[in-house]
Amino acid sequence: MKIIGVRFREVGKICYYDPDDIDIDVNDRVIAETDRGVECGRVILAPRELSNKYDNPIKKIIRKADLEDVVRYEENMKKEKEAFDICKAKIIELDLPMKLILAEYTFDNAKLLFYFTAECRVDFRELVKILASIFRVRIELRQVGVRDETKMVGGVGSCGRALCCHSYLSDFVPVSIKMAKEQSLSLNPAKISGVCGRLMCCLKNEAETYEYLNRKMPREGASVCTPLGEVGVIVSTSVLRQTVKVLVNKSEDAKEIEEYSLSEIRVQA
């Protein structure tokens, strides 16, 4: 059985479909059924044989998008901007404690979704009634978290590059404070937090490398023997360079700090 990978958002989750013997290449647009309704997506992964057993049933794509479908898709994007402005105005008018993030039409125009953030529970029933009377389609409001908001809106990180979540991450990865400690980063929240206010996703990128290198690194304060047979104590370490600085006793009155690679020293038990 063959499958293809399809994205319905620019950096959204990859969904898998049966191409149903239709000639499809990467970057082609296809029409498929999703949990939100019929959508127009872009093929990210070319057709390939399904090697492992897949527990969930795999849906077939409805068809390959034609010129008319692409035109409708582009028209929907324009309508989404108008819908966003109208909904935002109504939120202000009703004085609702919520922040509108995104408006999104399903491809078949059967549903209009609005994504928002809020610090508390919001009674938006009146808003739904007003929007339904204006757009004459099924209205759905979805509350999202701050990380989802940042992924949808995008921005620039402290590194000067586009945010990871908005540029290439399909799903959020688990990030912990332990990763920052492993990388010897300052635990100042302002230094290790992203635009969303949560721990930066990029802490995960080098976590495995640092874990591996730290396992090889002796602790500070450990006694070691240098290449010249001198005994010293480790005063600092460089994980990436895999070097240590050792305080060596040269004589009863003289001590010096010297740098060695891990291969040059021997840790004393």
Q: Quickly state the pLDDT bin for 63 (edges 50, 70, 90).
A: very high
Collapsed DSSP state (helix, strand, coil) of residue 160: coil
| DSSP H or E run through 212 | helix 207-216
**Confidence at residue 172, expressed as pLDDT on a 0 to 100 scale:** 85
Give the list of residues 6+ apart from residue 196 with CB closer than 8 angstroms, or none. 146, 147, 149, 150, 165
Collapsed DSSP state (helix, strand, coil) of residue 34: strand
**Confidence at residue 11, expressed as pLDDT on a 0 to 100 scale:** 74
Domain boundaries 69-143, corresponding CATH code: 3.30.300
Q: Quickly state the pLDDT bin for 254 (edges 50, 70, 90).
A: confident
User: Following DSSP, what letter does each residue of 61-78 receive, concatenated?
Assistant: P-EE--HHHHHHHHHHHH
| Radius of gyration from C-alpha coordinates of the chain | 28
CB 220 within 8 A of CB 234: yes
- Residue 78 pLDDT greater than 90, yes or no: yes
| DSSP H or E run through 214 | helix 207-216
Residue 76's alpha-carbon distances to 44, 112, 115, 250, in angstroms, are 21, 10, 16, 77
For the chain, the domains span: 1-64, 69-143, 146-212, 220-265
Span 126-133, mean pLDDT? 96
**Cα gap 138→131, rounded to integer Å:** 9
